[in-house]
Structure 1
Amino acid sequence: MVTVRDILRRAVEEGRKKLLEHEAYAVAEAYGLPVPRYGLARDADEAARLSKEIGFPVVLKIVSPDITHKSDVGGVILDIRSEEDAKKAFTKIMDNVKRYAPKARIAGVLVQEMVPSDVEVIVGATRDPIFGPLLMFGLGGIFVEVLKDVSFRLAPVTPIDAEEMIREIRAYKILEGYRGKPPRDIEALKDII
């Protein structure tokens, strides 16, 4: 069984400062955080098999240490509902990446349970050379880069710090519930931070 230490050691040995998505899920699972069902496919047949095991619908995403924004290279296909569609999606993603990021190293394609959500958030960690470990919270997906609406705190954080991080982003009103949308589970977000 691969341990968190193994995952982190491998990333360091490869000179990476970020975990690949399936690695981040494995670390989150090791610490008891819920993650969508997932698997890493290295070919179209494996993508189909994993899709069936996970249960439809699924999403397929390119996994590469060289590609940060998967959507920009056609590396994400949503709402896949059959094994045949999973095979086609795998092939299309690989073709897209060869076209738009031909030098990218490819670890495989993540096959992931499609989680219904209209609001994505991001929680991240980094080590600042002066301040030490920092935690980040904000809207996720494409919004993290476009809006740059994130908050930071020195780690470790208290529950009060976590709540302040959540409340200080400009998009907090969306998390509270806006225009008839239900509020998000702020307590769960605090726990994750």
Structure 2
Amino acid sequence: MDRSGIEKLIVEVANLGRGHLVEPEAKELLKLCSIAVPEFTHVNDLSEARRVTDKLGFPLVLKIVSEEVDHKTAIGGVAIGLKDTEALEECWTLMLLNIADENPVAVVEGFVIEEMVPRGAEVTISAIKNERFGMVVMFHTGSGEIDRIKDVSFRLGAVDKEEALKMIDEVRGFKSAEYTEGSNGTSRKLKEKDLDAIADALVTISTVVEETESLSELEISPLIVYPEGAIAVDARAVLKK
């Protein structure tokens, strides 16, 4: 974990007067935390985007970048599985129209183009500082809202590896379920190294939020687990007010 790099990044964002990190900054924060992310590039125009596609290849993911858009999916600001340049250009235009309709004063700061990662077991992890309870660490299955209380576990304060594994164990059925993986849609059950990858990520985000005074929240949703490790596909990072 690059603590000095983390502090430098957060200070730079705070000096811009912003309360949270936008997509490419959140990805850089995770990289500084030694958490793997998909290969990505932040671009500002379509000509630059076309050059990036030559490097990354298809299929790709396109995400809009704007300080005023905290939840991109809710306004159609994320497109996955783009198979060619024409599809990318169409989604680019549509996203600009969507954000203009939803929030006319929003300033678009470009787009993130990233590699399309394979399917795998998806989880959400977060560490949030709460005025009443202190820091709350959460683990739940999937990448959407929590539907059932059995799908989630909590801890107060930063967790170590042993406690993180206990959190995972508390979510009933998670370890015994089969998950679709890869482009060929094969299924498999999670193994010990999969659980270790999730636990390591829980330890990391709880530690960085606890140790970084100006950081109040860090969420990864989803964290996708593979036999070779876990990848953070999207993240939310909020600064202390």
**Global fold match (TM > 0.5):** yes
The 3 A distance-change label for structure 1 pair 140 and 98 is: farther
User: Does the CA contact (< 8 Å) of 1:176 and 1:182 recur in 2?
Assistant: no
Q: How many residues align?
A: 188
Determine if the alignment matches structure 1 residue 159 to structure 2 residue 168: no
Aligned partner (choices 37, 45, 48) of residue 46 of structure 1: 48
Separation in structure 1 between the aligned mates of residue 23 and residue 170 of structure 2, nearest angstrom = 27
Q: CA deviation at 1:152?
A: 2.6
Moved over 6 A (4+): none
User: Identity across aligned pairs (percent)?
Assistant: 30
**Which runs of structure 2 are paired with 1:137-156 in the superposition (5 Å)?**
137-141=139-143, 143-144=144-145, 149-156=151-158
1:190 maps to: 199
Kindly provide the CA deviation profile for residues 59-109 of structure 1, in whole angstroms up to 9, marking residues without a partner as x.
101222322332221111111122333223222211221122323332221
Other structure's SS at 1:120 match: strand
| CA RMSD after TM alignment | 2.6
User: Does the CA contact (< 8 Å) of 2:141 and 2:174 recur in 1?
Assistant: no
1:133 maps to: 135
Task: Specify every segment of 5 or more residues in structure 1 that has no aligned partner in the other structure, as ranges.
Answer: none
The 3 A distance-change label for structure 1 pair 147 and 36 is: farther
Kindly provide the CA deviation profile for residues 94-148 of structure 1, in whole angstroms up to 9, marking residues without a partner as x.
122112232333222111111122542222222222443332222343x236557
Q: Which has the higher strand share?
A: 2
User: Does the CA contact (< 8 Å) of 1:73 and 1:101 recur in 2?
Assistant: no
Task: Specify every segment of 5 or more residues in structure 2 that has no aligned partner in the other structure, as ranges.
Answer: 181-186, 203-241
Separation in structure 1 between the aligned mates of residue 77 and residue 60 of structure 2, nearest angstrom = 14
Aligned partner (choices 167, 170, 186) of residue 168 of structure 1: 170
Q: What TM-score do you get using the length of structure 2 for normalisation?
A: 0.67
**Which runs of structure 2 are paired with 1:1-193 in the superposition (5 Å)?**
3-13=5-15, 14-16=17-19, 18-141=20-143, 143-144=144-145, 149-169=151-171, 172-178=172-178, 181-184=187-190, 185-193=194-202
Aligned residue type for 1:176: S
Q: What TM-score do you get using the length of structure 1 for normalisation?
A: 0.82
User: Does the CA contact (< 8 Å) of 2:179 and 2:189 recur in 1?
Assistant: no
